[in-house]
Amino acid sequence: MENTPYRTVFGATGKIGRALLGFLSQAQMPTIAVTRDLGKAEPLPFVEWVAADMSRPETLPAALKNSAAIFLVSGMGTSFVEEQHNVITAAKAAGVKNFVKLSSAAAGKSSPAHIVQSAIGRSHKEVEELLKASGLNWTILQPTGFMQNWLGEFSKRVKEERGIYEATGDGRRAYIDLRDIAEVAFTVLKEPAKHAGQTYILTGDEALNYWQLADIIGEVIHHKVTYVPLTLEEARERMEMKGMPQWAIQTFMAYTEVQRNGDAAYVSSDVQQVLGKPARTTAAFFADYAEWFK
């Protein structure tokens, strides 16, 4: 398979990366999965794991050999822009033609200006501009809030207290299942030329508030779930008590205020456009992950 064209997935051990690898493997598409720690690699048919570090450009060429298209996702941090730029630069040097970047709705037209200027929005926007200037065929995915973010402290509170504690008031957001994000990425990687130059805003098909979500969860788990609205100050105090960094608190609070003010209810048809089917509903998500909440 030395001359086989590969799809290269950076961030392959994250939630979206793993879901994307599943689609690629099932489709029997030869794939390079990139990770800093091969100890986290999970064997899959048609997937070859390669160790590389985005902060060390000299490690990247080995991951890009015979790559026809790249998918890039990575966690936010102080060197986020530099690391993603390293991958773009290495891709161009390796002769890769197609590049799919997972960005954020925070960097796009669906968000207010002050969200675009937040730490996350600003960082993603900068990388988007670097990618567009690179000469590569690019596609950008801008998802809104992930439903899977409810699997953790949120689901624990529902399970133990039958309560939801958020400071978004009755503001709505069109949350998206990350499995839909992964399937969109897979669809783009199958035919990258078809999607070149496109920015897709990825949302669910329904904008909901936490009153509505409490009812949906309650119906799924057959227990009443109560939404307890927090003040903005209470939400900030909770994050500070958990030791979250200030940039993360500031960004989260900006998102919270936008939703609270009614400016986060944007619904996009891009998932339907790319996949030819509707995005997964929140009811379907909670049914699939019901054991987390019961």
Q: Return d(Cα 185, Cα 30) in angstroms, integer.
A: 15
238 domain residue, yes or no = yes
23 domain residue, yes or no = yes
Mean pLDDT across the chain, nearest whole number? Answer: 94
Same domain assignment for residues 169 and 258 = yes
Check: CB of residue 202 under 8 Å from CB of residue 143.
yes
CB atoms closer than 10 angstroms to residue 222: 8
pLDDT exceeds 60 at position 1: no
Between 118 and 175, name the one with better pLDDT.
Answer: 175
CB atoms closer than 10 angstroms to residue 77: 13
Same domain assignment for residues 134 and 159 = no
Same domain assignment for residues 151 and 183 = no
Same domain assignment for residues 137 and 243 = no
Q: Return d(Cα 284, Cα 165) in angstroms, integer.
A: 22
270 domain residue, yes or no = no
Check: CB of residue 157 under 8 Å from CB of residue 259.
no
Same domain assignment for residues 167 and 94 = no
Tokens of 172: 């709505």
Tokens of 233: 């100050």
Stretch (H or E) spanning 118: none
Same domain assignment for residues 104 and 12 = yes
Same domain assignment for residues 181 and 233 = no
List pLDDT tens digits, range 119-142. 778 899 999 999 999 999 999 999
pLDDT of residue 6: 96
116 domain residue, yes or no = yes
Same domain assignment for residues 195 and 100 = yes
pLDDT of residue 75: 86
CA neighbor of 142 nearest in space, from 255, 268, 263, 246: 268
Query: Between β-strands 47-51 and 31-35, what pairing exists: parallel, antiparallel or unpaired?
Result: parallel
pLDDT exceeds 70 at position 170: yes
Same domain assignment for residues 110 and 151 = no
Domain carrying residue 137: 6-144+177-202
Same domain assignment for residues 186 and 222 = no
List pLDDT tens digits, range 191-224. 999 999 999 999 999 999 999 999 999 999 999 9
pTM: 0.94
84 domain residue, yes or no = yes
Mean pLDDT of 79-100: 97
Check: CB of residue 99 under 8 Å from CB of residue 134.
yes
pLDDT exceeds 80 at position 113: no
Q: Return d(Cα 72, Cα 16) in angstroms, integer.
A: 10
Same domain assignment for residues 81 and 21 = yes
Q: Return d(Cα 219, Cα 283) in angstroms, integer.
A: 9
Tell me the C-alpha to C-alpha distance, in Å, between residue 79 and each of 18, 55, 56, 248.
23, 8, 12, 15
pLDDT level of residue 161 (50, 70, 90 thresholds)? very high
Check: CB of residue 180 under 8 Å from CB of residue 275.
yes
273 domain residue, yes or no = no
**Among residues of the chain, what percentage have pLDDT more than 70?**
99
Q: Return d(Cα 276, Cα 126) in angstroms, integer.
A: 31
Tokens of 120: 């996350």
pLDDT of residue 90: 98
**How does DSSP assign 186-252, residue by residue?**
HHHHHSHHHHTTEEEEE--S--B-HHHHHHHHHHHHTS--EEEEPPHHHHHHHHHHTT--HHHHHHH
Mean pLDDT of 275-288: 98
Residue 97's CATH number = 3.40.50.720
Instruction: Please state the separation of Cα 222 from the chain's center in Å.
Output: 30
pLDDT level of residue 2 (50, 70, 90 thresholds)? low
275 domain residue, yes or no = no
pLDDT of residue 270: 98
**Count of domains in the chain?**
2
Residue 161's CATH number = 3.90.25.10
Q: Return d(Cα 58, Cα 61) in angstroms, integer.
A: 7
List pLDDT tens digits, range 215-251. 999 999 999 999 999 999 999 999 999 999 888 888 8
Dihedral sign computed on CA atoms, order 253, 101, 148, 267: positive
247 domain residue, yes or no = yes
Same domain assignment for residues 196 and 152 = no
